[in-house]
Amino acid sequence: MLTPMDVLAINDLFVSAQGKEILKGLNLKLHKGEIHVLMGPNGSGKSSLAATLMGHPTYQVTSGCIRYKGRYITRLSPDERAKLGIFLAFQNPLEIPGVTLSNFLRTAYNATHKDRVSIPEFKKRLHTIALKLKLEDSFLNRYLNDGFSGGEKKKAEALQLLVLEPKLVILDETDSGLDVDALKKVAKAISDYVSEECTILVITHYQRILKYLEPDYVHIMSDGQIVRSGGKEIISLIDEQGYEGVYG
C-alpha cells in the first residue's frame, strides 16, 4: 500500500534484456528525504535496475510495476521520467563532442523546469554551483565528457545533479574512478543535496563512499532480487562475511 511519503514503489518487478531475465520479482520502496544504498556483486542486476527505472529501451518490463509519487511510470519514455524529476547518473557517461557542458545543462534545465532562465542568469547560477565542487569555469566550457577522465565524468554528473534539482536521484557507481579528495567532494554534494523533498538511491559495490555518507537503508542484491535490507550495520557484515554471508 502506498503512503504519502512514498516516492518510489517497485512491486514484483520482472525485467528482461536481449531475451535474458535480469530482474526477478524485485520489490523496493523509497520515501521522501531518505538515502538508500544498493549493493551487491557484479552481475546481480544493480545497473539493470537503474536503467529500467530511467526507461532504457533495452530493458523490457515483463511483469510488475514501478510507481513514482503514486503514478505508474513503467511505460513512460526516459524524457517523460526526467521531466517528472527523476535523474540517473550513469556508470559510464556518454561523450558528446561539440556540445559544451554549460550549454547541455542549460538545455536540460529548460527542458525539465517550467521556469526558463536567461543565459546570463543561468551562467551565474552554474558558476556558483561549480564553485561548490571546486570546478574551474574552463571545465564548464569543455565538450560534454569528451576527453574527460573517469573522475572528471563523475564530477560532471554531480554538477548536473545540483543544477537540475531532481526529486529522485539514482547514482550508478558514482564513486568509481574517483580519488579520495574527489570522492569526498562528490559525497558532500550528495549529502548536502538530500532534503525532505529529495530521495537518493546510491548504487555501488564499493564501500569507501559510505565513509562519507549516512544512508538510511542498505539493500543487498543478488540474482535480480533484493535479498536483505537494513541499516548501515550491513556494511560491516559484508566486510566480515562477504556478500554470501549476508544473503540470509
Q: What would the DSSP string read from start to end of 64-129?
A: EEEEETTEE-TT--HHHHHHHTEEEE-SSPPPEEEEEHHHHHHHHHHHH-SS---HHHHHHHHHHH
The mean of the pLDDT values for the chain is 88
Dist CA 156 CA 148 (whole Å): 9
Q: What is the pTM of this model?
A: 0.89
pLDDT band at 225 (very low <50, low <70, confident <90, very high): very high
Over residues 136-151, the pLDDT tens digits come to 889 999 999 999 988 7
Q: Does pLDDT of 3 surpass 60?
A: no
pLDDT (mean) for 168-183:
82
Residue 1 has pLDDT above 60, yes or no: no
* Amino acid 222: pLDDT: 93
Q: 91 pLDDT exceeds 80?
A: no
Percentage of residues of the chain with pLDDT beyond 90: 55
Domain ranges of the chain: 31-55+76-246
Distances (CA, A) of 130 to 82, 119, 134, 157, 162: 22, 16, 6, 12, 9
- In contact, 170 and 162? CB cutoff 8 Å: no
Residue 186: pLDDT band (50, 70, 90) is confident
Is the model's pLDDT at 215 over the cut of 60?
Answer: yes
Q: Which CATH superfamily is domain 31-55+76-246 in?
A: P-loop containing nucleotide triphosphate hydrolases (3.40.50.300)
